[in-house]
Chain A
Amino acid sequence: MTTTAQPKADKAAASEEFTRKPRSLWTDARRRFWASTVARIGLAITLFLVAVAVISPILISEKSANERDTRNKLLPPSWLMSAEQRAEASREVEWGPLTRPFGTDQIGRDLFRRVLLGAPISLTVGVVAVLLAVVFGSLMGLFAGFFGGVIDAVLMWLTNIMLAFPSILLAIALTAISNNPESFSYKLGDFISSLPVLRTLFDAPLANAMIAVAVVEIPIFARIARAAVLSVRNQEYITAANALGVPQRRLLFRHVLPNSLTPILVQMTLSMASAITSVAALGFLGLGAKPPKPEWGSMLSDARNYVVTGQWWYALFPGIAIMLTVLGFNLLGDGLRDALDPKVKA
């Protein structure tokens, strides 16, 4: 009995020794991703921000973040204040060192609450803008690359024109147009800012700025998708599928698209960073969210007048918030690129 079992066990042990566990593209990518410090830090920052964005609207009401306290306007962070100063500021509640950790603004609002409430706004703006850009851009690139010829020429002409403008300039020009209630983008912005969840986060000008930024990102995705499709199109499995009589639409969406996904995924992460900065920049220039909205860029736009008079904390914290967010997505994007596409080194 044991004699028959023995060789079997040996065989199993031997095969375990000589064959390794099969590794797919994704397991390899995951291994490379976790091996990289940059990627891990990026992921940690991003997850932290997502957590803040989810939790802060639950704990902090927009009303409390907009509450005026004109007696205590432009106060520095409360942990920098002396006990006497804090005692003077106290009225209904006793002020401790952490009552106003980021200080107050020109009408006495709590900057800590406002900066935290800015997180869901900026992250949502980034996600929606990138989704819009990715859908329209990849479709454009997919069609251009797959069909070639006149469609390709016209679509690539369009993307070249859009890439011929410095992106922030184009976004500014587009935002200026969409202030027209007749325009299509204004109506789209109006529609987006009336959707269930987004209603609480966006106002119409912010939605417009976001659309402008999305439009500016479209050509980037169009180019990437086109390049990916061109490199996939002539592979043998596509020829084989074509020869088997797979219809064009199925070929495009079932075979070409999934194989072009990795560069698009990487670019999405990097575009999150640039979309968030651009929307904040528009807000800073006065073309984004309107005042009571705690959007980081428009907070900075208010804060710039107080930099000259020495209230540094007003501009410091929203700026750090933007920087941290952008840093997180940039690191994550770099890490993803190294993990998914080891050939390309940034």
Chain B
Amino acid sequence: MVGETPRSTRSQSYLGRLYGALLVLGRVLAYILRRFIAIIPVLLGISLLVFLLLRTIPGDFAIVALGERSTPEQRAALRHQYKLDRPWFIDLEGGNIFDTQYVNFIANFVQGDFGESLKTKRAISTELLKERFPATLELSFFALLIAVGVGVTTGVLAATRRGSWLDAGSMLLALIGVSIPIFWLGLMMQYLFGVKLHWFDLSQRLSNEMLRSFEPITGVYTLDGILRGRLDVTWDAIKHLVMPSIALATVPMAVIARMTRSAMLEVLSQDFIRTARSKGLTESTTIVRHGLRNALIPVITVIGLQMGLLLGGAVLTESVFSWPGIGTWLLEGIKSRDYPVVQTGVMFVALVFVVINTLVDISYALFDPRIQHR
């Protein structure tokens, strides 16, 4: 103890402090890089799985694309065009050994060349990035907003009024919320708020007359309305968003509320809360600044996990509300055997899912200094 150099002298010099900061930054960057390198094998596996899935889905690509009445020559020509006559993984019989179906699939995907839909004949990249993905993104974003806002507030209120009817009632609701099948909840909301009360439209993202008179920019309509100075469009888009985003938010909201409550209860029993109260801080400062801030790490973990689940829930919610996002696109693709659409859509969703989960993982490491960047 006595012989140890005091910390202050070490970090006193400007250069020393800069060096220390750079060292930490370097470690963090190296950690982030390592996490992203670690997902490469998973991405390869996903691409393999999607590739094999598509080749075991029943039906012949060429027949779906050209129709039942096409000649065998036409079909062969189409297969050749899409390189479906090439071997799957490696070509050992002359030619380029890597000129195979799988390698081409990966190369095209990486270059953003997704081909065109067999059904609509439109370029998949346009439809995916300009329409479907923004639609799903908008829905999931609003759902997350609702889930976090309502969930955290409810959790905090329940924890601070432990044992009250508010606590019991909200936790009962949360228990039911976790168990509700969201496609059924969606149907019931459609009946109550759409058919019975006429508060909201039953489906779609915008009313038809809005859709006709409006040129989107990003595909996120609430944002586009503001960008174009058409607040009526934004308002219409929000009205269409209310029901699907609440339906999608239900399960994450319930999970977040339960987690916030239990984390808050744990923090509120700590000594520093008593200290905060006894030094005369107001109750709200004590709870928010000293309580909630310290309870946030497990809550953030749960929010991160829910973000991935939202993507899955979006498939069902979109189906109920005819929301033209990735989920409905994939379902239509599977039903009409639109292979390029299914292939791209599944790959894309899995990619987004993996990247989100990795970002969430990295963010805990940054939020929680106890997790080492090893």
Contacts and interface: CB of A to CB of B under 8 A. Distances in A.
A340 B29 CA distance: 41
A183 B354 contact: no
Interface stretch (B51-59, B89-97, B113-121, B280-288): B51-59
Contacts of B45: 157-158, 160-161, 164
A310 interface: yes
B56 A177 contact: yes
Given A165-B353, A308-B190, A315-B188, A300 B183 contact: yes
Contacts of A20: none
Given A161-B49, A179-B58, A307-B190, A166 B180 contact: no
Contacts of B46: 161, 164-165
A331 B175 contact: yes
A345 B266 CA distance: 11
B311 interface: yes
A133 B335 CA distance: 27
B57 A316 contact: no
A38 B168 CA distance: 12
B334 interface: yes
Nearest to A303: B187
A173 B190 contact: no
Contacts of A174: 53
A21 to B, nearest CB: 33
A165 B315 CA distance: 12
Contacts of A168: 312-313, 315-316
Nearest to A331: B175
A273 interface: yes
Contacts of A181: 58
B107 interface: no
A323 interface: yes
B350 interface: yes
Interface string A121-138: 000000000000000000
B349 interface: yes
Given A176-B57, A180-B58, A281-B181, A166 B308 contact: yes
Contacts of B262: 345-346
A192 B315 CA distance: 28
Size class of the A contact interface (CB-based, 8 Å): 35 or more
Contact of B175 (A286, A310, A330): A330
Contact of A161 (B42, B188, B312): B42
B353 A322 contact: no
Given A164-B42, A166-B349, A180-B58, A323 B179 contact: yes
Nearest to B337: A176
Contacts of B349: 165-166, 169
Given A164-B354, A169-B330, A331-B175, A310 B191 contact: yes
A285 interface: yes
A166 B353 contact: yes
A79 interface: no
B24 interface: no
A180 B357 CA distance: 33
B175 A327 contact: yes
Nearest to B184: A319
Given A167-B312, A277-B181, A173 B56 contact: no
A29 interface: no
Contact of A300 (B58, B187, B342): B187
Which of B53, B178, B191, B350 counts the most A-chain CB atoms under 10 A from its CB? B191
B320 interface: yes
B64 interface: no
Interface in A188-235: none
A323 B184 contact: yes
A280 B312 CA distance: 15
Contacts of B258: 346
B89 to A, nearest CB: 17
B52 to A, nearest CB: 9
Nearest to A310: B195
Contacts of B184: 300, 315, 318-319, 322-323
Contacts of A310: 191, 195-196
Nearest to A284: B183
Interface string A147-170: 000000000011011101111110
B202 interface: yes
10 contacts: A157-B42, A167-B312, A168-B315, A172-B315, A284-B316, A304-B320, A307-B191, A307-B195, A315-B188, A346-B258
Interface of A: 38, 157-158, 160-162, 164-169, 172-174, 176-177, 179-183, 273, 277, 280-281, 284-286, 300, 303-304, 307-310, 312, 315-316, 318-319, 322-323, 326-327, 330-331, 345-346
Interface of B: 41-42, 45-46, 48-49, 53, 56-58, 175-176, 178-181, 183-185, 187-188, 190-191, 194-196, 202, 258, 262, 308-309, 311-313, 315-316, 319-320, 330-331, 334-335, 342, 346, 349-350, 353-354, 357
Q: Closest 7 A-B residue pairs measured CB to CB?
A: A166-B312, A319-B184, A180-B58, A161-B45, A327-B179, A326-B179, A176-B334
